[in-house]
């Protein structure tokens, strides 16, 4: 039987391993912010207001290098442009929520909440969209903030030798691999990754967006041919 409570709890269950992954990620975000000279309150505000790890890391790095404010904001937005695609992709499932709920659910939208929820929504029509999504997204938000605070508290006390920043691509990798289900998605991933490597030097992280667009077009073309 599907009820708000059981749907919320099954969302929580699925989020647990993801939480293990974002703890080091959040700590790295906190450590990086403090390392760049950002005061603790502002460092935590980045996590609460922006709530998007990769872009927070980029912002901290640029602030540390005294890049112009416009460049910092622009870089954060370019990195987070993919959220528009997630928003479009998940929107049909939230169509019947009130405007206020839509705003709240949107604030919690992340790579992980998107990927996990979409998978479940496609698989099971019965699941309560709102409660399952909240079950995944709310623990992610809480743990992310706690991990950031832990990172801020540790400051630069974490030795670089631990290479905790490597947890970031590993989490993305763990979500990426199951997303590759056929030739077309494999082509999208290979070309997206390849272009990202080649275009890595582009300013303002434009390489990421270029790679995403080229990868998506490749997937469409391969699907057309197959």
Partner 1 sequence: MAGTDYGSLALWAVILAAGVGTFAFRFSFIALFGRLDDVPEGVERALRFVPAAVLAALVAPDLVYADGAVAFTPANPRLLAGAVAAAVAWRTEDIAATLVAGMATLWMLAFAVP
Query: Closest CB to partner 1 among 1 and 177?
Result: 177
Considering the complex, what minimum distance in angstroms separates the CB of residue 187 from partner 1? 9
Shortest Å distance, C-beta 126 to partner 1: 21
Closer to partner 1 at the Cβ: 7 or 19? Answer: 19
How far apart (Å, rounded) are the C-alpha atoms in residues 132 and 9?
Answer: 7
* Closer Cβ to partner 1, 121 or 172, answer by number: 172
Least distance in angstroms from the C-beta of 1 to partner 1: 26
| Rounded Cα gap, residues 207 and 76, in angstroms | 13
Do 17 and 153 meet the contact criterion of CB atoms below 8 Å apart?
A: no
Shortest Å, Cβ 105 to partner 1: 7
Sign of dihedral through CA atoms 182, 177, 110, 37?
Answer: negative
DSSP for 115-149, please give it. HHHHHHHHH-SSS-HHHHHHHHHHHHHHHHHHHHH
Q: Which of residues 126 and 178 has its CB atom nearest to partner 1 in the complex?
A: 178
Residue 62 DSSP symbol: H
């Amino acid at each position: 039987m599907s009820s708000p409570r059981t749907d919320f709890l099954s969302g929580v269950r699925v989020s647990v391993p993801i939480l293990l992954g974002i703890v080091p990620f959040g700590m790295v975000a906190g450590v990086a912010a403090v390392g760049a000279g950002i005061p603790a309150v502002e460092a935590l505000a980045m996590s609460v207001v922006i709530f998007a790890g990769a872009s927070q890391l980029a912002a901290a790095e640029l602030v540390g290098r005294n890049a112009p404010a416009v460049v910092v904001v622009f870089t954060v937005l370019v990195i987070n442009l993919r959220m528009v695609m997630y928003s479009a992709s998940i929107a049909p499932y939230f169509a019947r929520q009130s405007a206020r709920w839509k705003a709240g659910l949107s604030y919690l939208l992340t790579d992980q909440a998107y990927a996990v929820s979409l998978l479940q929504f496609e698989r099971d029509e019965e699941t309560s969209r709102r409660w399952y999504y909240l079950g995944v997204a709310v623990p992610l938000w809480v743990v992310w903030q706690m991990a950031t605070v832990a990172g801020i508290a540790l400051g630069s006390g974490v030795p670089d030798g631990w290479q905790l920043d490597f947890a970031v691509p590993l989490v993305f990798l763990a979500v990426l691999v199951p997303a590759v289900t056929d030739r077309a998605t494999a082509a999208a991933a290979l070309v997206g990754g390849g272009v990202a490597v080649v275009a890595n030097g582009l300013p303002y992280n434009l390489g990421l967006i270029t790679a995403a667009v080229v990868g998506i077009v490749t997937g469409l073309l391969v699907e057309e041919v197959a």
